A = this chain, B = another copy of it.
Amino acid sequence: MNIFECEKFLNSILEPWNFNDFCHNGIQIEGKEEVKKIACGVSFNEDFIDKAIDYNADMLLVHHGIFGKNFFNLSGFMKKRVEKVIKNDLTLIGYHLPLDAHSGYGNNISILNSLKLKNAKRFEVGFLGEYDSKMDFEEFLNKVEILFEGQKLLVYKNNPHVKNVAIVSGEGSDFLNKLDDDIDTFITGDVKEYTRNIAKERCINFINAGHYATETFGVKNLSKLLSDKFDVEFKFLDIYNEI
């Protein structure tokens, strides 16, 4: 697989030009042009790079690449990360918000589908979904626990039933204030000090399923897609993070 064809293909699907993001979506570090093996993961860090080198990857496909708009200054830990990428001729390619929000391959739609929610409707970079009828909160929570097996969930129960659910992967807790009154349950990947009381006063069930845990779906989906279309293999490298 050629890295520029790969980027063109992914851009045509994810349409990053529609997003006001915190990073460049697409190739962030250009390596050798031909790719045989993709290491995919949630976040670009030294542990991930080391594992990718062990796997003999040519390309790193991540959700969290290099963030921020600054003057060029390659120093400290970031220098070491980039150095390893360049000295191993790797390509770093990242997709952030477009991969949260995508209606086919994104993190949120994947969670929504796994929970058998229907009538998906875009909400911020996430989705709203609903059940045909009210479900007991405990039954719903059980489904969530199965999906995020091994993750310690933080749960604020404020409503005995679940019917209309909002899902925003990663750092989405601030969207609690923007939920319409008909939403009874909100799954996201972080929590703030004020979340508990707002959720309680708004009578909305809140589940923090983890920033990392809610964002493993998209990169796997993209890698699978690439391996189906191009002559390339891939592996999800799980540098698990409880946060």
For A202, what are the chain B residues with a Cβ–Cβ distance below 8 Å?
76-77
CB of A27 within 8 A of CB of B82, answer: no
Q: How far is the CA of A76 from the CA of B179 in the complex (A)?
A: 12
Interface flag for A235 (CB, 8 Å): no
Beta-carbon contact of B30 and A76 below 8 Å: yes
Contact of A23 among B71, B76, B194, B195 (CB under 8 A): B71
Q: Does A196 contact B (CB under 8 A)?
A: yes
Expressed in whole angstroms, the Cα–Cα distance for A45 and B156 within the complex equals 16
* A28 lies within 8 A of chain B by Cβ: yes
Residues on A facing B (Cβ under 8 Å): 22-24, 26-30, 42-43, 45-47, 64-77, 79-83, 86-87, 170-171, 189, 191-198, 200-202, 211-212, 239, 241, 243
Q: What are 27 pairs between A and B in contact, CB < 8 Å?
A: A22-B71, A23-B72, A24-B70, A24-B71, A24-B72, A28-B72, A28-B74, A29-B74, A29-B75, A30-B75, A43-B197, A45-B197, A45-B201, A46-B197, A46-B201, A47-B197, A66-B72, A69-B69, A69-B70, A69-B71, A77-B201, A189-B193, A191-B243, A193-B212, A193-B243, A195-B243, A197-B239
Q: Give the interface SS of chain A, mostly helix, strand, loop or mixed.
A: mixed
Copies in the complex: 6
Whether B72 and A194, one on each chain, are in contact in the complex, defined by CB atoms closer than 8 angstroms, is no
Tell me whether A68 and B75 are in contact in the complex, defined as CB-CB below 8 angstroms, given that A192-B243, A195-B243 are known contacts: no
Whose C-beta in chain B lies nearest to the C-beta of A89? B83
Known: A86-B82, A87-B86. A68 touches B71 (CB 8 A): yes
Of all chain B residues, which has the CB nearest A170?
A: B193
